[in-house]
Amino acid sequence: MGNKLIPDNGDEIAFEVGQGILKLHRKLKISSMKHFINEENVVWRNINGEIIALNLSSGSHYTFNKIGSLIWLLLEKKVPTEEIILQASHEFSVPRDQIKEDVLSFFRNLKQEGLIKP
């Protein structure tokens, strides 16, 4: 038996009660996920197809490779995560499931560095 909760952030949390233990399982609804560039703290430029970003709060700067630059430009256009995954998969001829993990890992790193926010 399972039940679902939908918190304010749109993530779906399934939970089940079994043998007196409450188990929580987080399922991210990737199709509706969006991330946004942290415009208050980040300035960036596209130089010859390569993104260079500066975190104004930390003073750290970042240079993205081709796939990172594509993802950044799609973030700037406020493209949903699932569409970013599909476009990157198509552009770089990488299977969707493989690129999905890479994109989500890239997002985790960008969030950790304060460059994007959910």
For the question of whether the overall pTM of this predicted structure is more than 0.85, the answer is no
What is d(CA 7, CA 41) in angstroms, rounded to the nearest whole number?
28
Comma-separated ranges of CATH 1.10.10 domains in the chain: 33-117
Please check whether residue 71 is in contact with residue 104, taking contact to mean a CB–CB distance below 8 angstroms: no
113 touches 62 (CB < 8 A):
yes
The class that CATH gives domain 33-117 is: mainly alpha
pLDDT averages per 10-residue partition of the chain, 118 residues = 40 43 44 81 94 95 95 94 94 94 94 92
